[in-house]
């Protein structure tokens, strides 16, 4: 009985402590909408939101798959905070009486198959993706015609700061892909690709190269209709116009083939014609996160004559047996890079080798293989920002 | 009595007719989020939205300053439509039990001082801003250091399709500004600047030129802090870091001066150093909508040695007396362009001359002055898309 009471006392103390523990040093998130005070983050990486909803019965913050009830004050403002989050970027949403809506205070990002709220929780290493007074490259938005899709495609191209100052110099190219439920806006926006590269190049840690970011889910646009039906920010063609089975997550059998056809036969020739590239495999790489990593394995790995370097971020592994089975790969590949967030490694079952075992076996067999584990992050953008930061320092050297 | 009854009958008939009149030919809006069926628009330009909010008491569509009640079905889906809208782009929002939130189905745009929902209502002339299989220019996102603001600024630069194919050719430049409560994303996104220019150039109706789109509200960034506090999409520095009185709509006395200093002493030299421009007044223009038009009058009009052409869209007029009072303007100015939406002309009081009278007087006095009135549109983006379309055909010729 005494023991039971003690346990209750301890549990009660823990609950009270949990509430008391919310440290009141919240500041507006660095990437709120202009002038908006909420969402906020504190030094313990808790996210606090505030929404005006005077007539609502229940308002919740929904972040990292947990819903937190907000509390209403007399002015109809609902306020509340999450448990501590991992460092880096998280998608989230607000529930107002059963309606899942974006937070009117946050900026909006494409992920989880919708444009919605996202928040950047400060990280100890955030300096590598901070905006600094260094020479800045350009993030260029482009449209181009796709014969296979009989319509216009949309992509982003990062050119390093020196690109326009050296009108005869040619550059290597990295094709960099987003994950499932995301699109070509992922790396330019939440990925902070331009800032990561600008900082790396300014510090002499990476050679300048071009980065192409395409939409790996959208393999058959048919939208060049004269009715103003253009794909805007992240749009795909209407339901009826999409390829059968070409859904974002389903990965049907022809899925990799369709994007492979676009990438190799349309995107690469367009990029090589439009930019001063070094148009050979040695100076062409492909990488991607999650689904984009699977696409990299499906498209770039079997084609060492097209892509000389490969990066797979939280998207699978390449074993030494698989590498040996691809004709010419051993001779032609320059770099194999694999990465995960440490929380992925902890929580995932690896039926065969672990990524570390695969990497070690590849190195022993003479491949230039590298592995990176992002500390204390999961299947999220902070893992992939860090992966790009590491990968870019190894690439084209 | 009979007369009264008739009137009631007629009124009843009109009400029923008003409901019956909603034509059931709604289709998903061309710029919804990928795969989203709502919002929809019908052939009468009514906007229909649908939001899931099973526990809400009241849900409304709020568009063009009118709120429309939605109706709930047994699945908790709220549906309803607006009265017919003008052709073109409109900001809107959804109210859920007193919370004003973005529609989870629409894409998001910056205007009315927030990132929120927008919808494009089909227009008879929408072909001029449609995505077509023509050579496409690039919309380039750039950061650069501002000495006056001691921080990084953010702008967009449109380069025509031929820019990278003619590595020695130099181009004229238009500095094109957004309105109050908007930012540098306005012209690239809801303004459809790149598509309008690509189509005009492909048809030989405009000469190729560069367009620079800056943030005219944000005159003093102090955000190059090493804490990852960068301005993302449309962000301004935190409240405490903003210049006193530098608000977006207030237009204090130093307001035009601050942006004039940025534009003339920082943006133009950066652009002339970064792009192959023709760096003289004859080949440099400024234009803007609403507040951006007022900035054009305040900055470009008194400086004919810097800007040779001027466009004011829904943002004021230049009288022949004002023109005569600016030293050197008569000799140096190449083009004065003024425009309004027809609904603005109808609803506005012009204390002095009408825009048409000012234009006529300028022409009689020997200026190259033009006026354009956008049919059946108000102080909205369709007026300004059309203004750019007209203005661009006159510019640098």
Q: What is the pLDDT along chain A (397 residues), one digit of tens a residue?
A: 445 445 544 444 444 445 557 999 999 998 899 999 999 999 999 999 999 999 999 999 999 999 999 999 999 999 999 999 999 999 999 999 999 999 999 999 999 999 999 999 999 999 999 999 999 999 999 999 999 888 999 999 999 999 999 999 999 999 999 999 999 999 999 999 999 999 999 999 999 999 999 999 875 443 433 333 333 433 333 333 333 333 333 344 466 788 999 999 999 999 999 999 999 999 999 999 999 999 999 999 999 999 999 999 999 999 999 999 999 999 999 999 999 999 999 998 888 899 999 999 999 999 999 999 999 999 999 999 999 999 999 999 9
Q: How close does chain B come to A106, measured CA to CA in Å?
A: 8
Instruction: Identify whether B9 is preceded by a cis peptide bond (ω within 30 of 0).
Output: no
Distance CA A132, CA A194 (A): 11
Distance CA A69, CA A54 (A): 15
Quote the pLDDT of residue B8.
Answer: 47
Quote the pLDDT of residue A241.
Answer: 33
- Please list every residue in chain B whose beta carbon sits closer than 8 Å to the beta carbon of residue A225: 130
Quote the pLDDT of residue B222.
Answer: 37
Question: Cβ(A201)–Cβ(A195) under 8 Å?
Answer: no
Contact (CB<8Å) A136/B143: yes
Question: Cβ(A196)–Cβ(A387) under 8 Å?
Answer: no
Beta bridge partners of A241: none
Question: Cβ(A296)–Cβ(A313) under 8 Å?
Answer: no
Nearest to A73 by CA among A94, A92, A87, A59: A59
Q: Is residue A105 helix, strand or coil?
A: coil
Nearest to B154 by CA among B95, B241, B109, B213: B213
User: Mapped to the 3 state alphabet, what secondary structure does B151-203 carry?
Assistant: EEEEEEEEECCCHHHCCCCCECEEEEECCCCCCCCCCCCCCCHHHHHHHHHHC
| Distance in angstroms between the alpha carbons of the first and the last residue of chain B | 69
DSSP classification of residue A267: I
Q: How close does chain A come to B131, measured CA to CA in Å?
A: 5
Contact (CB<8Å) B96/A97: yes
Q: Please give the torsion angle defined by the CA atoms of residues A332, A335, A339 and A345, in that order, rounded to the nearest 10 degrees.
A: 60
Distances (CA, A) of A290 to A343, B20, B307: 15, 50, 50
Question: Cβ(A120)–Cβ(A107) under 8 Å?
Answer: no
- Please list every residue in chain B whose beta carbon sits closer than 8 Å to the beta carbon of residue A247: none
Q: Which residues of chain B have pLDDT under 70?
A: 1-20, 219-255
Quote the pLDDT of residue B254.
Answer: 63
Q: How close does chain A come to B309, measured CA to CA in Å?
A: 27
Quote the pLDDT of residue B150.
Answer: 83
Nearest-CB residue to A227 (from B107, B108, B130): B130
Question: Cβ(B49)–Cβ(B38) under 8 Å?
Answer: yes
Pairing of strands B369-374, B335-341: parallel
Contact (CB<8Å) A224/B131: yes
- Please list every residue in chain A whose beta carbon sits closer than 8 Å to the beta carbon of residue B275: 164
DSSP classification of residue A183: -
Q: How close does chain B come to A283, measured CA to CA in Å?
A: 21
Nearest to B80 by CA among B67, B98, B64: B67
Contact (CB<8Å) B34/A235: yes
pTM of the predicted protein model: 0.90
Query: Token digits for A89?
Result: 């970027």
Query: Token digits for A23?
Result: 């440290």
Nearest to A216 by CA among A109, A128, A289, A127: A289
- Please list every residue in chain B whose beta carbon sits closer than 8 Å to the beta carbon of residue A238: 28
Quote the pLDDT of residue B255.
Answer: 62
């Amino acid at each position: 009985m005494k023991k039971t009471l003690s346990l209750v006392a301890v549990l009660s103390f823990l609950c009270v402590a949990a509430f008391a523990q919310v440290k009141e040093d919240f500041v507006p998130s660095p990437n709120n909408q202009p002038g908006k005070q909420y969402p906020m983050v504190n030094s313990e990486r808790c996210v606090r939101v505030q929404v005006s909803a005077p007539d609502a019965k229940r308002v919740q913050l929904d972040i990292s798959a947990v819903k937190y009830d907000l509390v209403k004050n007399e002015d109809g403002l609902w306020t509340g905070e999450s448990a501590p989050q991992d460092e880096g970027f998280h998608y989230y949403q607000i529930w107002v009486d059963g309606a899942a809506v974006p937070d009117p205070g946050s900026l909006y990002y494409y992920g989880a198959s919708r444009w919605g709220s996202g928040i950047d929780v400060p990280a100890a290493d955030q300096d590598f993706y901070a905006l600094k007074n260094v020479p800045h490259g350009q993030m260029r938005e482009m449209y181009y015609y796709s014969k296979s899709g009989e319509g216009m495609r949309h992509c982003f191209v990062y050119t390093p700061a020196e690109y326009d100052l050296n009108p005869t110099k040619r550059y290597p190219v990295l094709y960099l892909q987003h994950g499932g439920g995301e699109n070509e806006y992922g790396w330019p926006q939440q990925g902070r690709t331009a800032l990561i590269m600008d900082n790396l190049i300014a510090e002499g840690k990476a050679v300048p190269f071009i980065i192409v970011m395409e939409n790996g889910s959208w393999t058959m646009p048919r939208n060049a209709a004269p009715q103003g039906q253009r794909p805007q920010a992240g749009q795909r063609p209407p339901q009826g116009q999409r390829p059968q089975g070409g859904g974002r997550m389903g990965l049907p059998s022809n899925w990799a083939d369709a994007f492979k056809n676009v990438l190799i036969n349309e995107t690469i020739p367009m990029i090589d014609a439009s930019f001063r590239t070094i148009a050979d495999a040695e100076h062409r790489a492909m990488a991607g996160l999650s689904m984009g990593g699977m696409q990299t394995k499906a498209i770039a790995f079997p084609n060492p004559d097209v892509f000389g370097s490969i990066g797979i971020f939280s998207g699978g592994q390449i074993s030494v047996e698989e590498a040996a089975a691809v004709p010419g790969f051993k001779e032609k590949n320059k770099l194999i890079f694999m990465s995960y967030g440490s929380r992925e490694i902890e929580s995932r079952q690896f039926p065969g080798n672990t990524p570390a075992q695969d990497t070690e076996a590849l190195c022993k067999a003479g491949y230039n293989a590298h592995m990176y584990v992002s500390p204390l992050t999961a299947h999220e953008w902070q893992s992939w920002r860090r992966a790009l930061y590491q990968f870019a320092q190894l690439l084209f050297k």
